[in-house]
Amino acid sequence: MAVQRIVVDPITRIEGHLRIEADFDNGKIVNAFSSGTTFRGLEKIMEGRDPRDAWAFVQRICGVCTHIHAIASVQAVEDALGITIPKNADLIRKIMTATQFVQDHVIHFYHLHALDWVDVVSALKADPKATSTLAQSISNYPKSSVGYFTDIQNTLKGFVGSGQLGIFANGYWGHPAYKLPPEANLMAVAHYLEALEWQKDIVRIHTIFGGKNPHPNYLVGGMACAINIDNDNTINMERLDLVAREINKAIDFVNQVYIPDLFAIGSFYKDWGFGGGVTNYMSYGSLADDKTRNTKDAVFPGGIILNRDLSKVMDVDPRDPEQIKEVIDHSWYDYTGDKGGRHPWNGETTVKYTGPKPPYQQLDTAGKYSWIKTPQWMGKSMEVGPLARMLVGYARGNDVIKTSVDGALQKLGVGKESLFSALGRTLARGLETKIMVDYLKTTYDALLANIKAGDSKVFEQSKWDPSTWPKTCQGVGFTEAPRGALAHYVKIDNGKVSLYQAVVPTTWNAAPEDQQHQKGPYEAALIGTPMADPQKPLEIIRIIHSFDPCIACAAH
Amino acid sequence: MNETFYQEMRRKGYSRRDFLKMCGLLTAVLGLEASFTSRIANALETKPRLPVIYLSLQECTCCAESFIRTAHPLLSELLFNMISLDYMETLQAASGLQAEEAKMKTMQDYKGHYLVVVEGSIPLNDDGIYCTIGGRSAKDILLEAAQNSVAVIAYGSCATNTCVQGAYPNPTGAVPVKNIVAHVPVIDVPGCPPIAEVIAGVIAHYLTFDRLPELTNLGRPKAFYNHRIHDNCNRRAFFDAGMFVENFDDDGAKQGWCLYKVGCKGPTTYNACAITQWNNGVSYPIKSGHPCIGCSEPGFYDNFPMYEHLAHVPITAMPFEPDKIGKWITGLTVAGVAAHGVATGVIKRLDKEPRKDEEAGK
Amino acid sequence: MLKKSVYVWESPIRIYHWVNVILITVLVATGLFIGDPIFTRPGEAYAVFIMGKVRLWHSMAAWLFIANFIYRLYWAFVGNEHAQFKPWRKGFVSDGIESVKYYLFLTKEHTLHLGHNVVAQLAYFTVMWIGSLFMILSGLALQGEIFPGGLQARIAGWMIPLFGGGSYALRSYHHLTTWIFIAFVVVHLYLVIRQDILDDDATVSSIINGHKFAMVDGEDNHDKH
Ligand code: HEM
Ligand code: HEM
Ligand code: NFV
Ligand code: SF4
Ligand code: SF4
Ligand code: F3S
Ligand SMILES: [Mg+2]
């Protein structure tokens, strides 16, 4: 049989518009192309604006990982202007970052990824009693009675029976790649609904400090939420108590629902070892101590791993023009002059579309085929994200991460090599969510201790006024976003932004190939995967979802 | 609304017996116990849930994120009891062809009876290459879905005013939904994003009262967008008193004073934030100390710098604020007048001199 | 040169003029304060009401300003020839060109008008008529925002979508036009005083007592310096 081109567009249950074209031959994917099909031009729009306003624009790069772009942006501007933010502001930002991780990862697991592993229709056949037994055997989560699961199942039956399947319509139900017994499916469906209800609560931590979620508010130089424990219109005990309550609920939810489900579902799929992809991993590191600012021993350590070799970690420096470069060999952009890779401080976003005019059936994958650029570290494609963070942390010997990863592998009864797969990514995401809820608690305690010690400062005023700024300067804000390494680069000229470049986690992961046909992480992960039915792309979306794509992020 | 499935069967000449038999078959196919037949029959006899097609175009998905945070109604109530969300890329199980088929089916089966919710703007430059789904342009997709819908809800600032991507110089030529959809009502529900309970409320309003909500002169539901933030702001007493935060984290800030002088756009922003508040009534930007940035208003991203009361002259993207322009106008006027005065004096003197000469010459 | 005293400004015009001077001064001062409230006062919010008062004064002055505007509009129909503005009259354009030339020092010929010359009329027309009308409509629209569906909103609510940038844009233009009024006053005072000095025709006092001096010799009033 000739090679068959499979097109999956839209890839759903992700953020944004991703198109996958894959060549299918002999039951397997033999080549794959990842294309981001939307572009907004935010980097261009930033030019000429007040750097203090930048966060509000670039935060809108994405509403799913809302918050993290704003953080990268204020950090970039603070880096350029030489501002050190007050301790309270640093702690609040860290609490908000951890909150973002927890909410985003839980949503991803249940609402974006679960239906790749969980067959909703099979849940109709489950015995609620057996489901209850299963649930109680893995967790002490209180909602686990027979009655509870019976109710959920009846709701589901009524729903399916109505003939209007809504978001579940046309799913790949009954596909041979689904492996869970009906009871596990029913439990997962119940927790799909629980998670939906819970996630709206945890983000209230953002609402307290940033006024709303999605898209809370920030400030170059600190935070805008004044702390005055003796005032009714500021951060006071009632506000902090709400934060504490949500943190406790989050700890319970992650420990009693997410983590047990992850292992329960994972144990049925541990043989499905596909989706490994590129073998290089990168983390910038984040949540470092505010004094040392050393990302190597941060909560998420920074570093590079090549060829899956966990015995060696290299350092990564986002400022180094030799290390980080974006190439555009297969992206719809042009560079003036030298067409080679560019470090972001020297970056450029000039569109040059060469693809087919819509409506089209197929992209010209020999030429340019995506709105996503191709970032590289020392000329190599890098996978970023939870798996990269866990691997780098492991290789750096970070205790928390090491214990967590070793424990998980032991529990599943698999070796380290199992991590290099779609499932490995999904596991890593769960493990770091657990690390993040614990971190939420300790950081909250640190904030309280600092306020108790008499410090209520949240904003550094000294460099607010543009007249105090150097005539020209440049900065970078780098951090870890839920989906991986994120960096914003800014240049400021006479008080105005003269260049803005964002290199975003999904830019790394969803990148098209480079001139030497070195594949991007999505593309590489798909190659070699067998498909039961090329018309039903369940295996493709499974692997792609394991990265948690965000295309608005990737192409901005 | 649409006829029920039962009514449709009767119209096609089937008897109630046939209908119940079919329900029994369906029960078996779905692998449910026989007792379930009556429930299914009941579901098929009552009004179908309102089919909703949710289009994500050129956007950041924060509107969808906000949508799933709704506390009343809860999203699960909305999805299971009120609407049938037949297409929403962010949540639906099916991808690719299967996803597109689900949408086509709803558009055919519920012609004239489904609601379209649009998140995102429509980039028109260069044949729409800046946002394609399934190889088709956002404009095509929107026009097709809107054509036989009851109404289109333009949800979020991208869909109502193009949000950030429409900010100067609007590189992709983004336009809001109302510039594209002409033949069905368009309801603007702006905000970046809108409050969860507001979007859910607009849908629930339509379902409960069987009519579209009344709109303000800006085309937004009165029920949520009738007042400015400023009119219901918790810091309003400080505004009237003239007690302002002069700098972030100053004494005024620590007393919760008004944020007007650090650029609050509450006085020119219509939204429900100050009343409904965010994330189930916890707070809203101003309450948490940051000025409102006017995220529900047209062109709000060109009304910056953000931390000034009135900044650039709107729409023009001129980098001048009214007071700066005003001072220039006045300064130039004074200078012009002074120059004219001097010129008058000089010319008058020159005028007189020749006259003297003439007189002398005589 | 013989001059005779002519009654130019009827008392309603003079009253209008001085009421307007007071109101515009109040509106500009309170308006600019609203835009940039430079004093703040500590204390308890319930006991202080600075911004509220300034807004109240602005609003009260605004209503009087509207009344005065309508009153002047009425006099444009019933008043004497100097109270009227008729761009369609014969010679309006040529007079205008003459006046521009005069102010650009291109000619020393100067048509002495008992009322205002055409340039002055045009300036008054754009700033005082169009400008005031804009301030009134935009001001009413801004006021209408406080009472959705109320009188002001019904009269002028359409102004908000008109400018495409919503309420913020309208407010900015209301603010910007304030400066046009300020610039107008500067030019106005200059021209009035200059006229008085050059032609010695009692222009300044005319707006107080109504009388100006005019040449006795003839209808066309050409004066050579
Ligand atoms: C807010 C300030 C002022 C405004 C808006 C203003 C406006 C006007 C207007 C609209 C007229 C034309 C009268 C009409 O046709 O209805 C006028 C005439 C006049 N104003 Fe004012 N005025 C102002 C201040 C003053 C002051 C302070 C003086 C005194 C020095 C003054 C002296 C005059 C005189 C002498 C005339 C008659 C001008 C002529 O013969 O062309 N004005 N003014
Ligand atoms: C010559 C006439 C006027 C001038 C120079 C003037 C000037 C101003 C200025 C500078 C502002 C501040 C705008 C800002 O920065 O936010 C303002 C606000 C305002 N003006 Fe006027 N204005 C005039 C006439 C009017 C009229 C006729 C009305 C109403 C009928 C009016 C109603 C308002 C209102 C409601 C506000 C907003 C005040 C608030 O609620 O905060 N104005 N005006
Ligand atoms: N990629 C990405 Fe984001 C994340 N996490 C950004 O920094 O999702 Ni929208
Ligand atoms: S309106 Fe704002 S929040 Fe909604 S999609 Fe657009 S940018 Fe995102
Ligand atoms: S904080 Fe903003 S909305 Fe609130 S009273 Fe002050 S100016 Fe108005
Ligand atoms: S910024 Fe937006 S969220 Fe509300 S308070 Fe202002 S409209
Ligand atoms: Mg970029």
Taking an 8 Å cut-off on Cβ atoms, the answer to whether C183 and B333 are in contact is: yes
What is the pLDDT, as a whole number, of residue B322? Answer: 80
Query: Has residue B314 been placed in a domain?
Result: no
Q: Does residue B235 share a domain with residue B220?
A: no
Contact C19, C64 (CB under 8 A): yes
Beta bridge partners of A487: A478, A503
Average pLDDT, chain A: 97
Chain C CA closest to residue B261: C36
Q: What is the CA radius of gyration of chain C?
A: 21
Q: Does residue B100 share a domain with residue B9?
A: yes
Q: Parallel, antiparallel, or unpaired: how do β-strands A28-36 and A18-25 relate?
A: antiparallel
Report residue A82's pLDDT band, with 50, 70 and 90 as the boundaries: very high
The whole-angstrom separation of Cα A476 and Cα C222 is: 73
* Average of per-residue pLDDT across A25-31: 96
The whole-angstrom separation of Cα B4 and Cα B2 is: 6
Tell me the best of B235, B262, B269 to mutate to test the pocket of ligand 6, counting ligand atoms within 8 Å of each CB and taking the most.
Answer: B269
Residue A99 has pLDDT above 80, yes or no: yes
Report residue C225's pLDDT band, with 50, 70 and 90 as the boundaries: very low
**What tokens appear for C15 in the block?**
């009253």
Minimum CA distance residue for ligand 1 atom 31? C189
The whole-angstrom separation of Cα C184 and Cα C124 is: 9
Tell me: the pLDDT tens digits for C84-93? 766 667 777 7
Q: What one-character-per-residue DSSP string does A149-182 give?
A: HHHHHHHHHHHHHTS--GGGTT--TT-TT----H
The whole-angstrom separation of Cα A320 and Cα B77 is: 52
Residue A269 has pLDDT above 60, yes or no: yes
Q: How much of chain A is helix, strand and coil, in % rounded to 5? A: 45, 15, 40
Chain A CA closest to residue B306: A53
Phi, psi of A479 (to 5 degrees): -160, -175
Decide which of B198, B224, B250 is a domain's last residue.
B224
Predicted TM-score (pTM) of this structure: 0.94
Tell me: the pLDDT tens digits for A436-447? 999 999 999 999
C176 residue type, one letter: L
Tell me: the pLDDT tens digits for B308-320? 998 776 555 555 6
Q: Does residue B162 share a domain with residue B295?
A: no
B139 residue type, one letter: K
Q: Does residue B337 share a domain with residue B279?
A: no
CB of C27 within 6 A of ligand 2: the answer is: yes
Q: Does residue B357 share a domain with residue B254?
A: no
Chain B CA closest to residue C183: B330
| Percent of chain B predicted with pLDDT > 70 | 91
Mutate to test the interface with B, among A55, A111, A124, A167 (most CBs of B within 10 A): A167
CB of B59 within 6 A of ligand 4: the answer is: yes
Scan for tokens 């597109």, then name that residue.
Answer: B100
Minimum CA distance residue for ligand 4 atom 6? B158
User: Residue A18: nearest ligand to its CA?
Assistant: 3
CATH no. for residue B294? 4.10.480.10
* Cβ of residue A12 closer than 8 Å to a chain B Cβ: yes
As separate numbers, helices (DSSP H) first and strands (DSSP E) second, chain C gives 9, 4
The shortest CB-CB distance from B62 to any of A48, A63, A208 is to A63
Residue B73 has pLDDT above 50, yes or no: yes
Higher pLDDT, C32 or C88: C32
What is the pLDDT, as a whole number, of residue A1? Answer: 61
What is the pLDDT, as a whole number, of residue C112? Answer: 61
What is the pLDDT, as a whole number, of residue C164? Answer: 77
- At the topology level of CATH, where does C2-221 sit? Fumarate Reductase Cytochrome B subunit (1.20.950)
Chain C CA closest to residue B355: C225
Please, is B94 exposed, middle or buried when counting C-beta atoms within 10 Å of its C-beta (0-12, 13-18, 19+)? buried
Ligand 5 atom closest to Cα of residue B269: 3
* Average of per-residue pLDDT across A531-539: 96
Domain interval for residue B209: 5-224
Decide which of B224, B252, B278 is a domain's last residue.
B224
Tell me: the pLDDT tens digits for C135-193? 999 999 999 999 888 999 999 999 998 887 789 989 999 999 999 999 999 999 998 89
Tell me: the pLDDT tens digits for A110-161? 999 999 999 999 999 999 999 999 999 999 999 999 999 999 999 999 898 8
What is the pLDDT, as a whole number, of residue C10? Answer: 86
Contact A370, A514 (CB under 8 A): no
The whole-angstrom separation of Cα B222 and Cα B215 is: 5
* Residue A506 CA to ligand 3 centre (angstroms): 6
Contact C24, C224 (CB under 8 A): no
Q: Does residue B352 share a domain with residue B249?
A: no
What is the pLDDT, as a whole number, of residue A188? Answer: 98
Residue A172 has pLDDT above 90, yes or no: yes
Residue A432 has pLDDT above 60, yes or no: yes
Q: Does residue B69 share a domain with residue B45?
A: yes
What is the pLDDT, as a whole number, of residue B2? Answer: 52
Contact C181, C188 (CB under 8 A): no
Least confident of A291-300, A474-483, B10-19: B10-19
The whole-angstrom separation of Cα A544 and Cα A118 is: 16
Query: Has residue B132 been placed in a domain?
Result: yes
Decide which of B193, B224, B255 is a domain's last residue.
B224
Residue B77 has pLDDT above 60, yes or no: yes
Scan for tokens 């890593």, then name that residue.
Answer: A428
Higher pLDDT, A69 or B320: A69
Q: Does residue B345 share a domain with residue B297?
A: no
* Average of per-residue pLDDT across C37-63: 89
What is the pLDDT, as a whole number, of residue C2? Answer: 62
* Cβ of residue A456 closer than 8 Å to a chain B Cβ: yes
What is the pLDDT, as a whole number, of residue B124? Answer: 98
Q: Which residues of A6-43 are buried (b: 16+ CB within 10 A; e: fewer)?
A: bbbbbbbbbbbbbbbbbbbeeeebebbbbbbbbbbbbb
* Residue B218 CA to ligand 2 centre (angstroms): 21
Phi, psi of A305 (to 5 degrees): -120, 130
| Percent of chain B predicted with pLDDT > 90 | 71
What is the pLDDT, as a whole number, of residue B359? Answer: 46
**What tokens appear for A434 in the block?**
């657990």
Contact C98, C107 (CB under 8 A): yes
What is the pLDDT, as a whole number, of residue B319? Answer: 56
Residue B361 has pLDDT above 50, yes or no: no
Q: What is the CA radius of gyration of chain B?
A: 30
Query: Has residue B75 been placed in a domain?
Result: yes
Residue A179 has pLDDT above 50, yes or no: yes
Q: Does residue B260 share a domain with residue B154?
A: no
Q: What one-character-per-residue DSSP string does A18-83 give?
A: EEEEEEEETTEEEEEEEEE-B---HHHHTTTS-TTTHHHHHHTT-SSSTTHHHHHHHHHHHHHHT-
Higher pLDDT, B100 or B311: B100
Tell me: the pLDDT tens digits for B327-356? 888 999 999 989 988 988 888 888 776 544
Q: Which residues of B touch C146 (CB under 8 A)?
A: 231
Domain ranges of chain C: 2-221
Residue A246 has pLDDT above 60, yes or no: yes
Q: Does residue B235 share a domain with residue B212?
A: no
Q: Does residue B160 share a domain with residue B25?
A: yes
Average pLDDT, chain B: 90
| Percent of chain A predicted with pLDDT > 90 | 97
Q: Give CA angle at A479 (A517, A515), nearest 5°.
A: 10
Query: Has residue B309 been placed in a domain?
Result: no
Average pLDDT, chain C: 85
Peptide bond into A534 cis (omega under 30): no
* Cβ of residue B223 closer than 8 Å to a chain C Cβ: no
Q: Which residues of A touch B237 (CB under 8 A)?
A: none
Tell me: the pLDDT tens digits for C179-221? 999 999 999 999 889 888 888 888 888 888 888 887 655 444 4
Q: Which residues of C touch B265 (CB under 8 A)?
A: 168
What is the pLDDT, as a whole number, of residue A28? Answer: 96
Contact A434, A259 (CB under 8 A): yes
Higher pLDDT, A478 or A160: A478
What is the pLDDT, as a whole number, of residue C219? Answer: 43
Q: Does residue B333 share a domain with residue B197?
A: no
CATH no. for residue B199? 3.40.50.700
State how many domains chain B has.
3
* Average of per-residue pLDDT across A350-360: 98
Higher pLDDT, A261 or B13: A261
Residue B360 has pLDDT above 50, yes or no: no
Tell me: the pLDDT tens digits for C57-71? 999 999 999 999 999
